[in-house]
């Protein structure tokens, strides 16, 4: 498992010249970059599929290339984090993700699309680990829960990207011009925010090993994260295709993911307060139940408007789960597991769900239908409920894990 090293593990002093408020904004910007990039890409997937003339199964196989790239990006970010400043790793990861978003629409066949998505995967994997580690460092520096708000900003980015992408597509602007302009915006945001991060140089005299075995707690937390991100990846890549091609609702194609991302943003922005009110464990259980109801309605009803509402309910329910698991992982540090190691483990296992979800849905859709393939997402949502209590075994900053 990739293992970033920070001052909390090595004893090296953290250097941060920016005020805490600006640091929090800077880290939020990287979450926004990832959300905006993927939100912009997912609404153009049907266009790229149409231009290349590939089937659902071929598209699902191409999306598997993102997994391959992330398998490189996640451990690479961890390896660099043991040898270089974590802020530098985050800046570079953000730049790679930003540039990669422009590549898929320039593909000329299945192979070049797969190669482009490998690069997207490298950026996604590296940025996903690096920004969560930096977010945990900010949370511990402020000594109060802010992780849910970071993930809320990611969801806002996804909402802006999907709504903006849908509007751009409706205006007749092609995916090449759209995603190239998006990449330029993301790169500017990365460069602007990169100068305000917390610097945490590694202790080279006591460098930690790059690969460590995750603890049982991290594995359980990672499984919950996997279930959440499996559903998120499936909705991000297949909701527009389902609404446009299967339900013949081209006008609502971008609204499925928009409803999902919008509800997820609202839930995450309120997540820290909700956890304080009912307790993280109970909140995660409630979230799993609501998410299950939402995606099940998508499968059983099969109506365009009901599908949009179902995706929204799913986003609202799952919104609070992943931030609580990551925050709890950051509070489990001890003599055997440092906070950053636990976060890297949970994040890495979780992102496998985000990456495996789309090709798994595509493969099952090829055998049955896209509608019934979403039952895999329902199964993952159900699994969150019994695992919640064991995943949240430690308190996050300023929270009571009971409930």
Q: What percent of the chain has pLDDT over 90?
A: 35
Whether the Cβ atoms of residue 383 and residue 259 lie closer than 8 Å to each other: no
CA-to-CA distance for 61 and 360, rounded, in angstroms?
9
Q: What is the mean pLDDT of residues 35-42?
A: 89
Per-residue exposure over 363-387, b if at least 16 CB sit within 10 Å of its own CB, e if not = bbbbeeebbebbbbbbebbbbbbeb
The token pair that represents 376 in the structure block: 């895999």
Give the DSSP H or E segment for 227.
helix 216-241
pLDDT at 20 over 80: no
What secondary structure does DSSP assign to 31-42, as a single string?
A: HHHHHHHHHHHH
What secondary structure does DSSP assign to 197-208, as a single string?
A: SPB----GGGPP
Lowest mean pLDDT among 85-89, 354-358, 370-374: 354-358
- Number of Cβ atoms within 10 Å of the Cβ of 177: 12
Residue 204's pLDDT band (cuts 50, 70, 90): low
Considering only residues 17 and 398, tell me which one the structure prediction assigns the higher pLDDT.
Answer: 17
Residue 403's pLDDT band (cuts 50, 70, 90): very low
* Most confident of the following: 240-249, 328-337, 380-389: 380-389
Q: What is the mean pLDDT of residues 209-229?
A: 78
Per-residue exposure over 280-302, b if at least 16 CB sit within 10 Å of its own CB, e if not = bbbbbbbbbebbbebbbbbbeee
pLDDT at 79 over 90: no
pLDDT at 121 over 70: yes
Domains of the chain with bracketed CATH: 18-199+215-391 (1.20.1250.20)
Q: What is the mean pLDDT of residues 97-109?
A: 95
Q: What is the mean pLDDT of residues 108-130?
A: 92
Going by C-alpha positions, the residue among 393, 385, 8, 395 that lies closest to residue 219 is: 393
What pLDDT score was predicted for residue 190? 95
pTM of structure: 0.75
What secondary structure does DSSP assign to 250-287, as a single string?
A: GGGTTHHHHHHHHHHHHHHHTHHHHHHHH-HHHHHHHH
């Amino acid at each position: 498992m990739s293992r970033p090293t920070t001052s909390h593990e090595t004893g090296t002093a953290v250097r941060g010249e920016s005020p805490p408020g600006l640091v929090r904004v800077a880290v939020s910007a990287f979450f926004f970059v990832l959300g905006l990039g993927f939100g912009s890409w997912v609404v153009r997937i049907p266009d790229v599929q149409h231009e290349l003339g590939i089937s659902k199964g071929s598209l699902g196989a191409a999306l598997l290339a993102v997994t391959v790239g992330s398998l490189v990006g996640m451990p690479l970010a961890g390896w660099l984090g043991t040898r270089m400043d974590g802020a530098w790793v985050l800046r570079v990861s953000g730049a790679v993700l930003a540039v990669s978003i422009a590549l898929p629409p320039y593909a000329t066949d299945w192979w070049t699309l797969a190669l482009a998505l490998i690069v997207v995967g490298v950026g996604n994997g590296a940025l996903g680990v690096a920004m969560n580690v930096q977010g945990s460092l900010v949370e511990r520096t402020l000594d109060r829960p802010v992780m849910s708000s970071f993930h809320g900003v990611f969801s806002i980015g996804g909402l802006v990207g999907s709504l903006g992408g849908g509007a751009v597509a409706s205006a007749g602007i092609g995916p090449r011009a759209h995603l190239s302009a998006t990449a330029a915006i993301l790169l500017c945001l990365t460069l602007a925010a990169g100068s305000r991060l917390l610097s945490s140089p590694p202790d080279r005299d006591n460098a930690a090993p790059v690969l460590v075995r995750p603890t049982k707690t991290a594995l359980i937390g990672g499984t919950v994260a996997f279930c959440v991100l499996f559903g998120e990846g499936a909705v991000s890549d297949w909701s527009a295709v389902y609404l446009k091609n299967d339900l013949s609702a081209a006008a609502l194609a971008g609204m499925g993911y928009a409803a999902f991302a919008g509800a997820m943003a609202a839930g995450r922005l309120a997540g820290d307060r909700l956890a304080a009110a009912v307790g993280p464990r109970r909140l995660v259980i409630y979230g799993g139940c609501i998410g299950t109801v939402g995606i099940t309605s998508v499968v059983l009803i099969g109506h365009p408007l009901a599908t949009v509402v179902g995706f929204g309910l799913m986003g609202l329910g799952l919104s609070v789960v992943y931030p609580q698991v990551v925050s709890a992982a950051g509070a489990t540090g001890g003599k055997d597991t440092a906070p950053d190691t636990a976060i890297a483990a949970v994040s890495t296992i979780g992102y496998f769900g985000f990456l495996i979800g789309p090709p798994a849905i595509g493969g099952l859709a090829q055998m049955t239908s896209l509608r019934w393939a979403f039952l895999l997402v329902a199964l993952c949502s159900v699994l969150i409920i019994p695992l919640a209590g064991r995943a949240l075994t430690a308190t996050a900053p300023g929270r009571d894990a009971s409930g």
